[in-house]
Structure 1
Amino acid sequence: MAAAAAEAECDVVMAAPDGPGEADSDEEARREAEAFKEQGNAYYAKKDYNEAFNYYTKAIDTCPNNASYYGNRAATLMMLGRFREALEDAQQSVRLDDSFVRGHLREGKCHLSLGNAMAASRCFQRVLELDHKNTQAQQELKNATTVLEYEKIAEVDFEKRDFRKVVFCMDRALEFAPACHRFKILKAECLALLGRYLEAQSVASDILRMDSTNADALYVRGLCLYYEDCLEKAVQFFVQALRMAPDHEKACLACRNAKALKAKKEDGNKAFKKGNYKLAYELYTEALGIDPNNIKTNAKLYCNRGTVNSKLRKLREAIDDCTNAVKLDDTYVKAYLRRAQCYMDTEQYEDAVRDYEKVYQTEKTKEHKQLLKNAQVELKKSKRKDYYKILGVNKNASEDEIKKAYRKRALMHHPDRHCGASAEVQKEEEKKFKEVGEAFTILSDPKKKARYDNGQDLEEDGLNMEGQCSLHHSAMAAFNPLESALPLKQVCCWEWFHELTWFSP
């Protein structure tokens, strides 16, 4: 018993000096921590937040149960834009002291900056429970409510495919929540859907620099490439996004569409190169049904199908396809060139000139300039009298065919043949008769015919309506040697033309 008592006393004796020693040690630690905090405050005041962070960390390491130290470091991290870390410190500060108003306020600000408006609202409401006159909490609560409203509007507008309005809402929300990746991703996705690929890529790339495993950012990067018709690269990003988030529905759908488009397009190209135009047409048509939102790829598919239709001599369909292509992409030079050629082939020269002008304005090359010039010449020719049509012959007609056609048409429209008709008919037939003579004068002369075929201005030849009569007179001599020795009036009588009918084939 005595031994036991002595032993106990010894414990007491041994323990007695430890009490004051521990108290002194704690006090010393508190003083040291306070010194670190004061140094941190000094650097914070100088806006040297990195040094302030270091000293607040030393204060926490020295005295880890002080709520204000975590609160101060949270404030520093917020100034450095490190809101997730700041949130952890703010939450720790209120765990240590639930009545710490600044701690709750900072936690709410971190939540709001990260886009967690509901959680932020709860924090600000807690501040108002502790201090109902806190004006900062009142304002921040309004800000959180505003962010929630923008979120709801954006969600509805995204379903309506009003992507411009979604971008607007996200820009406004990001003014209060600058560190919210979710808002940035939604904005970037809508920018991609609006065709603003560089802006979308910039936003997604910024997020990936901070978090290379962000599946949503990877998806948006892939989406930009997908809509720029870089299908193979797009698939790589979609696959990477699915590795990070296997249940990412948008990435899964986009990956499937990209692979399908790539396969159909390549198969269509192969069929075209082999001359299997019918199969190529079918494959391009199937590809066009995969994703109507992929504007750039679909523009190329329409142009490719238009080329197929032109090969099949379905020129109207080819024009329609090229028109659809330029509706999707009004900078698509190849589609304008293809449509212009189809317009030329269908003698729609004004439309051809318009397309070639668009091409030349976009790419001022010698080739495009020549194409435009050719179309302008054909347009000019189309607006002049068609001498081949007047005589009823094609452009490859021989000299004999031209002479025979002239005889036939001259007899048909000679004024004496229509002397019993009304004045209006006589006038019209006289006009046609003169045109027949004019046509023969030009087409029977190799030089004049060449100039006419080349679309040169025939006024340069000195031809006029007064001269056409004498030209017509000489033209008659080309097939009747007696005519040149007789007056034109006598030659032009009906009897003479009646005799001449025997020379017609």
Structure 2
Amino acid sequence: MAAAAECDVVMAATEPEVPDNAEAKREAESFKEQGNAYYAKKDYNEAYNYYTKAIDMCPKNASYYGNRAATLMMLGRFREALGDAQQSVRLDDSFVRGHLREGKCHLSLGNAMAACRSFQRALELDHKNAQAQQEFKNANAVIEYEKIAETDFEKRDFRKVVFCMDRALEFAPACHRFRILKAECLAMLGRHPEAQSVVSDILRMDSTNADALYVRGLCLYYEDCIEKAVQFFVQALRMAPDHEKACAACRNAKALKAKKEDGNKAFKEGNYKLAYELYTEALEIDPNNIKTNAKLYCNRGTVNSKLRKLDDAIEDCTNAVKLDDTYIKAYLRRAQCYMDTEQYEEAVRDYEKVYQTEKTKEHKQLLKNAQLELKKSKRKDYYKILGVDKNASEDEIKKAYRKRALMHHPDRHSGASAEVQKEEEKKFKEVGEAFTILSDPKKKTRYDSGQDLDEEGMNMGDFDANNIFKAFFGGPGGFSFEGGCACCSSEFPYHKLTQQLLGEAAL
């Protein structure tokens, strides 16, 4: 830019000119020289003022307009600079620096085709001009970046569009169109703060820019601030009634807001089936709205949990966190579903994620509860062994033991293979363990709370299941795991009570 904006300190007249007022011409030259001095000091505002005075004195001098254009370029006022550069070449078409400045202004504003024409004209006048050659290449590079970006936008390759716009903006820093396209793609990529920063800068300069208003609304829309987003879409449509993107986004935003609110209302009224249908319909409106859709999936997961469709609820919550991996509510909902389906390792994983993100007492307690249930799940499930519910009464536990102990008693399986006998002995022992723990209130409390039973001094590997059987049913006799069934030996005729009981169990 510095080369393009270099000021013409010494200017030769393009045509012999005899002004009507020689004094005015001398005064204009004096103003120009003062402008040059301020330009050299980089005091561009003062330089601008003196070049303007020179133009007022001699409005048909091309170099004065060229110098003021250079100053405006340094001030970043490219649109005004373009007007002065164009006026300079209208006054003197052979003014090479004027054509260069006109091209540089066009390029800075993003009009690469017009820039190429200006640089070509400069090369026609001076084919060895190195600056014109380089700027011509730059303009063509911008044209190429625009073409690639257009194709990639259609392919929804937004990262590549951002890359192309960043490269183009190196040559066209004042191009709002490139900035807005970049911001739109940043919004589509979920980089909302960056996108908002870009369009906010543009709106500060031009509050009526419909494209910038649309992208500002798009950022809010994708952040699930749908009501505010609609306001910006409506404002963009006021500025440009035919703005297709703003129109489509406004329509989607209103539809999404209505469906979501209807789903929430149905849920609060307890109409879970209708709520499920409404959330499903809302999810079909705009697949690109990741944040809102994450909430919709979580809401539908809550509905499924109310309907006791826990696997579906887990799937919905998983979809929610895939869309938004910071969504704490979805992790909590999924963790609860994992707890309800006794998938404790998965529940612990989700609660750990939540607690790492938000270290609250509530989240800490949820994690501890899940860890406790996981620990308990790795022990023998005595309730399952007896075939009773965790809230079973004392009588239910006794009845269950009676049934299971007789079912697995080794005497019932004396004619089976050695492998079957071994398995039944194992099950008989486990039934005895289960009854020993669940029939004792103190042990049962410790077991239910997840405490280690060995801390109480009870080694579960040392107890005798046969003694428990005898104690429960009464009478002599029994069996030994080491020596086989005692009641089948020659010294102990088959015990009548055991025979009776086993016979009852077979009925």
Check whether TM > 0.5. Answer: yes
**Residue equivalent to 1:217:** 212
Q: Of the two, which has the highest radius of gyration?
A: 1
CA distance in 1, matches of 2:24, 2:461: 120
Counterpart of 2:470 in structure 1 is: 476
Asked if structure 2 preserves the Cα contact closer than 8 Å seen for 1:277 and 1:311, the reply is yes
Which of 286, 300, 308 aligns to 1:313? It is 308
SS of aligned partner of 1:467? coil
Residues 277 and 308, structure 1, Cα contact 8 Å, conserved in 2: yes
- List aligned pairs for 1:265-276, cutoff 5 A: 265-276=260-271
The 5 Å alignment of 1:295-306 reads: 295-306=290-301
Q: How does 1:165-184 map to 2 (within 5 A)?
A: 165-184=160-179
| CA contact 1:192–1:223 (8 Å) conserved in 2 | yes
For 1:31 and 1:246, the matched residues in 2 are separated by 53
| Structure 2 residue 154 is the aligned partner of structure 1 residue 159 | yes
State how far apart, in whole Å, the 1-side matches of 2:498 and 2:148 are. Answer: 87
Kindly tell me the number of residue pairs found equivalent between the two proteins: 479
SS for the counterpart of 1:195 is: coil
Any idea what the Cα deviations from partners look like across 1:314-357, whole Å, max 9, x if unmatched?
11111111111011001100001111111111111111111111
Give the CA deviation at 1:459: 2.1
Structure 1: distance between partners of 2:19 and 2:214:
59
**Would the aligned equivalents of 2:412 and 2:502 in 1 still touch at CA under 8 Å?**
no
User: Aligned partners of 2:243, 2:442: CA distance in 1, in Å?
Assistant: 74
| C-alpha distance after superposition, 1:213-241 (max 9, x if no partner) | 11111111100000000000000111111
8 Å contact 1:104–1:123 — kept in the other structure? yes
Aligned-residue offset at 1:461: 2.4
Q: Secondary structure at the match of 1:108?
A: helix
Asked if the contact 1:33–1:59 (Cα under 8 Å) also holds between the matched residues in 2, the reply is: yes
- Report the counterpart of residue 497 of structure 1 in structure 2: 498
Q: CA deviation at 1:25?
A: 5.8
2:289 to 263, 283, 294: 294
Verify the 8 A CA contact 1:319 1:342 in the aligned structure 2.
yes
Aligned to 1:92: 87
Pairing of 1:126-275 with structure 2 (within 5 A): 126-275=121-270
Shift, 1:421, TM fit: 1.6
Name the aligned partner's letter for residue 299 of structure 1: A
CA deviations over 1:22-61 (Å, ceiling 9, x no partner): x886111100100000000000000000000000000111
> Scaled by the length of structure 2, what TM-score is found?
0.91
- How far residue 279 of structure 1 moved from its aligned partner, in angstroms, is 1.1
Unmatched segments (≥5 aa) in structure 2: 1-17, 489-493
Q: How far apart are the structure 1 equivalents of 2:107 and 2:397?
A: 89
Q: Distance in 2 between matches of 1:54 and 1:318?
A: 70
Distance 1:124 1:491, change over 3 A: same
> What is residue 104 of structure 2 aligned with on the other side?
109
Deviations 1:175-195 (A, max 9, x none): 000000010000000000000
Q: Which runs of 4+ in 1 moved over 6 A?
A: 502-505
Which of these residues, 16, 21, 41, is aligned with residue 26 of structure 1? 21
2: CA distance, partners of 1:293 / 1:474: 65
Q: Is the partner of 2:93 in helix, strand or coil?
A: coil
For 2:462 and 2:504, how far apart are their aligned partners in 1?
26
Does the 8 A contact of 1:438 with 1:472 survive in 2? no
Question: Any residues of structure 2 matched to 1:332-351 within 5 Å, and which?
Answer: 332-351=327-346
When residues 219 and 252 of structure 1 are mapped into structure 2, their CA distance, relative to the original with a 3 A threshold, is: same
- Aligned equivalents of 1:190, 1:96: Cα separation in 2: 43
Q: Tell me which residue corresponds to 1:355.
A: 350
Deviates more, 1:406-415 or 1:456-465: 456-465
RMSD: 1.8
Q: CA deviation at 1:464?
A: 2.4
Q: Is the 8 A contact 2:19 2:25 kept in 1?
A: no
Partner residue, 1:404:
399
Residue segments in structure 1 that go unaligned for 5+ positions in a row: 1-22
SS of residue paired to 1:468? coil
Confirm or deny: 8 A CA contact 2:44 2:71 kept in the other structure.
yes
> 2:4 aligns to what?
none
Instruction: Using the TM superposition, give the Cα deviation of residue 88 of structure 1 relative to its aligned residue in structure 2, in angstroms.
Output: 0.2
Q: Deviations over 1:138-195 (max 9, x none)?
A: 1100000111111111111111111001000000000000000010000000000000
Structure 2 equivalent of residue 17 of structure 1:
none
The Cα offsets for residues 74-108 of structure 1, whole Å up to 9 and x where unpaired, read as 00000000000000000011111111111111000
Identity of aligned residues (%): 85
Please give the secondary structure, in 2, of the residue aligned with 1:115. Answer: coil
Pairing of 1:409-424 with structure 2 (within 5 A): 409-424=404-419
- The 3 A distance-change label for structure 1 pair 394 and 492 is farther
User: Contact 2:385–2:431 (CA<8 Å) still a contact in 1?
Assistant: yes
**1:451 matched to 2:452:** no
Q: In the alignment, residue 377 of structure 1 is paired with which amino acid?
A: L
Q: What SS does the aligned partner of 1:81 have?
A: coil
Q: Is the 8 A contact 2:314 2:337 kept in 1?
A: yes
* Matching residue of 2:65: 70
Contact 2:217–2:232 (Cα < 8 Å) also in 1: yes
Correspondence for 1:11: none
Asked whether the 8 Å contact 1:112–1:144 carries over to 2, the reply is yes
Q: Tell me the amino acid that sits aligned with residue 337 of structure 1.
A: L
Aligned mates of 2:121, 2:316 — CA distance in 1: 63
Distance 1:466 1:93 in 2: 103
Rounded Cα–Cα distance in structure 1 between residues aligned with 2:297 and 2:82: 53
Contact 1:111–1:120 (CA under 8 A) maintained in structure 2? yes
